[in-house]
Amino acid sequence: MSKKVLLAMSGGVDSSVSAFLLKREGYEVIGVTLDLLATADKCCSNSTFSDAKDVADRIGIEHYILDLKDEFKKEVINYFLDEYIEGRTPNPCVVCNSKIKFGILLKKARELGADYIATGHYAMVEKEDGRFILKKALDIKRDQSYFLYRLSQDQLFHSIMPLGDYRKENVRKIAEQLNLRVHNKPDSQEICFIPDGDYRSFIRKNVPQLESGYILDREGNILSKHKGIYLYTIGQRKGLGLSLKKPLYVIAIDRAKNAIIIGEREETSSQSLVAKDLNFISIKALVSEMRVMARIRHQHKEVEALINPLENNRAKIDFKESQKAITPGQSVVFYKDDRVIGGGIIEK
């Protein structure tokens, strides 16, 4: 009997070609488009649903829409707002993957008797020495392993990522050969629930009472006022509203004082950080120091680092080279060659 797989279909070219590849390999594919937002926008408009349905019909698979608006608001949007209010810079895609796409969707798959869930992510899942390993995609420019580091062994066991060993141009070529109307559909670039990229307006709309405070220098001198710490992130230079003789940058956000701390460029760099809420994939836990390659942002260049375990599921990461704008709330992900070791949330 063929294995049943529940495929997350966004209406884009990646998940569409994933549907074709899975069916070609003999899986019984059920396409599911997640309805995540209360109001329509570029990512979750009616065209998303119709594109996914059109692909499902052409390939010959079942297609359903799954309403997860309440769950998405609770797990992703509220988290996003809370983090900015607390002076941290969130990464909603990391949370969405672990809690929604590979969390709630996996639960739904089990309810429907499916053996696996699948997505159009560019990454690979393999089994080695009794553990499920997350690896970088063949197409390094498209690799999305950074956003998947929080997946558990159970989630990886039940996951299929058909595009891991495909290049994007080949994926589009397959879609064109199949006469799928989404073959040249642009890739989504922004946060799905903020399609225009204006996260500040989104926060103002959803959190009407935002405190103003002061912009301080390193010595605590008041330089100006700010309209809310959510307007700032580590390393920011523009938009400070200051007229000074030399350029200054945001070097810290003090939530307790509701203050933005600014300093010179070199003060935005650090050679170490502390990460919390660690999740490991290729190992069960970090019990002693380990040399890895580490990445502090998705598009950031990996650098050699030494990670050491701390109490309460935390770790200290010392980099071989100083890193610019290490940002609390973002994720640091550890690699060895093409394997994801694990990662955590940057605490400080």
- All domains of the chain in start order, with CATH: 4-177 (3.40.50.620), 211-263 (2.30.30.280), 268-346 (2.40.30.10)
- What is the average pLDDT across 322-346? 97
Q: Tokens for 286?
A: 């970090």
pLDDT mean across residues, the chain: 92
3-state helix, strand, coil in the chain (%, to 5): 30, 30, 40
- What is the average pLDDT across 242-268? 91
Q: How confident is the model at residue 187 (pLDDT cuts 50, 70, 90)?
A: confident
- The upper half-sphere exposure of residue 59, i.e. CA atoms within 13 Å in the direction of its Cβ, equals 32
- Distance between CA atoms of 182 and 87, rounded to whole angstroms? 39
Q: Residue 155: pLDDT above 70?
A: yes
Q: Read off the pLDDT of residues 293-308 as tens digits, 9 standing for 90 and up.
A: 999 999 899 999 999 9
Is residue 302 within 8 Å of 172, Cβ to Cβ? Answer: no
DSSP 206: H
Q: Residue 42: pLDDT above 70?
A: no
Is residue 8 within 8 Å of 101, Cβ to Cβ? Answer: yes
Q: Residue 43: pLDDT above 80?
A: no
Q: Tokens for 16?
A: 């569409």
Is residue 19 within 8 Å of 127, Cβ to Cβ? Answer: no
Q: Which of 14-28, 169-183, 228-242, 286-300 has the lowest mean pLDDT?
A: 228-242
List, as own/partner pairs, every contact residues 109-112 make where C-beta atoms lie below 8 angstroms and the sequence separation is at least 24, other chains included. Answer: 109/5, 109/6, 109/158, 112/4, 112/6, 112/30
Q: Tokens for 53?
A: 């349905």
- What is the average pLDDT across 112-130? 94
Considering only residues 203 and 195, tell me which one the structure prediction assigns the higher pLDDT.
Answer: 203
DSSP 330: S
Residue 45 pLDDT: 57
Residue 41 pLDDT: 46
Residue 295 pLDDT: 97
Is residue 158 within 8 Å of 3, Cβ to Cβ? Answer: no
Tally Cβ neighbours within 10 Å of residue 233: 18
Task: Work out whether the CA dihedral 22, 11, 156, 113 comes out positive or negative.
Answer: negative
CA angle 79, 82, 88 (to 5 degrees): 100
For 46-102, give the DSSP string: HHHHHHHHHHHHHHT-EEEEEE-HHHHIIIIIHHHHHHHHTT----HHHHHIIIIII
Residue 40 pLDDT: 47
Active site residues: 96, 192
Q: Read off the pLDDT of residues 59-77 as tens digits, 9 standing for 90 and up.
A: 999 999 999 999 999 999 9
Between strands 331-336 and 290-295, the pairing is antiparallel
Bridge partners for 249 per DSSP: 263
Bridge partners for 197 per DSSP: none
- Distance between CA atoms of 112 and 242, rounded to whole angstroms? 58
The pLDDT > 70 percentage for the chain reads 97
Residue 48 pLDDT: 83
- What is the average pLDDT across 220-240? 90
